[in-house]
Amino acid sequence: MRIGELAARAGTTTRALRYYESRGLLAARRTGNGYRTYDEDDLRLLQQIRTLQDFGFDLEETRPFVECLRAGHPAGDSCPASLAVYRRKLAELDALIDELGAVRTRVRAELARAEVLATAKEPGGPEPRCELSPGGMTAAPDVNGAADGREPKGMT
Amino acid sequence: MRIGELAARAGTTTRALRYYESRGLLAARRTGNGYRTYDEDDLRLLQQIRTLQDFGFDLEETRPFVECLRAGHPAGDSCPASLAVYRRKLAELDALIDELGAVRTRVRAELARAEVLATAKEPGGPEPRCELSPGGMTAAPDVNGAADGREPKGMT
DNA sequence: GTAAGCCTTCACGTCGACGTCAAGGCAAGC
DNA sequence: GCTTGCCTTGACGTCGACGTGAAGGCTTAC
């Protein structure tokens, strides 16, 4: 089958397939006129890539799975290198989820505090008592503990 | 104070400050020779921006807080627009955390399955029984429910 | 024959929050 | 005067995974 059909069957675009090829995943044979040709094995390979992409894996991280399949193994995750990627990804997920949970807690606290202050001075304002820390929140302790500066990056 | 000192006191770079200025946040006065000058209010403003950035807010999302402060309010979140951003962000966080949790569960399951298959054929291989779904995992139901294609994006 | 619908390569655009030169002006200490 | 170190603007680079458009060739249906 040609690139258009493969893309359609995998639910992606021809552009993506050419991109994967440029990255060294998913090689293609060529017909006389230069057209790319694929078979069912290529489709399986592509499905493996897409599944992992849906999980949020980088393209590079799908490489061990692809190479495992190409080596003739029944599944992309039949090789140790693939399992290692799974484990690393799990650790990353855990860390990220923890971090996001911490941020959520802090944002919730800020919201609650700000809401109280807002409703306090609403209808006539029952004299806002105890106005501690007038700046609201300053000098935050940096949720992202690691020395990687600026992060969470995954919440827009 | 000049840009270098402000950047140092806020723990950021001069480049970032010029960028904020180009985006319309954090305006600066100028001295005779064209140097930017800032005061303590600007520092507070900048701290507000940085705190929200640490929470994972986009720069655009810090704008209501900044304008609130500039309007003379005691805190950046003293205004309704800021509270709205807090609430939207909380909803996004909840959705993202749920999504990541689902992905984690699925990756864990894949890892467990692959590990069993791997150890099964290890020392002599006790004949791998019941080899259902030989492709391993295919045609994933797309964890990212929304029609935004490709996502999680926040786990590298 | 000609239009539609594939295919090819090349190459720039996208998004966010800056980093990194480059080329030059200004201030202060020696 | 000269060096050092701050400042200025402008403009291109970064990262990932493609999208988009140009310019052109092949094949098939009408």
Cβ of A92 and B58 within 8 Å? no
Q: What is the mean pLDDT of residues B112-122?
A: 79
Q: Provide the token pair at A117.
A: 């202050």
Percent of chain B with pLDDT over 90: 73
Q: Provide the token pair at A82.
A: 């693939």
| Predicted pLDDT at B132 | 44
Percent of chain B with pLDDT over 70: 76
Which chain B residues are Cβ-neighbours of A110 within 8 angstroms?
77, 86
Confidence of residue B117 (pLDDT cuts 50, 70, 90): confident
Q: Are A77 and B56 in contact (CB under 8 A)?
A: no
Q: Are B52 and B61 in contact (CB under 8 A)?
A: yes
Decide which of B143 and B117 is more confident: B117
| Predicted pLDDT at B143 | 38
| Predicted pLDDT at A145 | 33
pLDDT, mean over chain A: 82
Nearest in space to A47 (alpha carbons), one of A98, A9, A96, A5:
A9
Q: Are A114 and B77 in contact (CB under 8 A)?
A: yes
A78-112 per-position pLDDT tens digit? 999 999 999 999 999 999 999 999 999 999 999 99
| Predicted pLDDT at B118 | 72
Cα(B40)–Cα(B54) distance, rounded to whole angstroms? Answer: 21
**pLDDT of A149 above 70:** no
**pLDDT of A142 above 80:** no
Cβ of B154 and A155 within 8 Å? yes
Which chain B residues are Cβ-neighbours of A93 within 8 angstroms?
100, 103-104, 107, 155
| Predicted pLDDT at B142 | 36
CA-based nearest residue in chain B for residue A76:
B136
B143-156 per-position pLDDT tens digit? 333 333 333 434 44
- Among A76-85, B50-59, B120-129, the minimum mean pLDDT is found in B120-129
Which chain A residues are Cβ-neighbours of B76 within 8 angstroms?
136
Nearest CB partner across the interface for A153, out of B76, B80, B154:
B154
CA distance A74 to chain B (A): 6
Q: Which residue is nearest to nucleotide C7 (CA to C1')?
A: A35
Decide which of B122 and A98 is more confident: A98
The nucleotide lying nearest A2 (C-alpha to C1') is C7
Cα(B25)–Cα(B66) distance, rounded to whole angstroms? Answer: 7
- Among B66-75, B84-93, B144-153, the minimum mean pLDDT is found in B144-153
| Predicted pLDDT at B120 | 66
Q: What is the mean pLDDT of residues A66-83?
A: 95
Cβ of B118 and A78 within 8 Å? yes
Confidence of residue A125 (pLDDT cuts 50, 70, 90): very low
A8-59 per-position pLDDT tens digit? 999 999 999 999 999 999 999 999 888 999 999 999 999 999 999 999 999 9
Cα(A146)–Cα(B134) distance, rounded to whole angstroms? Answer: 41
| Predicted pLDDT at A4 | 94
The nucleotide lying nearest A16 (C-alpha to C1') is D18
Q: Are A30 and A36 in contact (CB under 8 A)?
A: yes
Cβ of B93 and A75 within 8 Å? no
Decide which of A145 and B83 is more confident: B83
pLDDT, mean over chain B: 83
Q: What is the mean pLDDT of residues A148-154?
A: 38
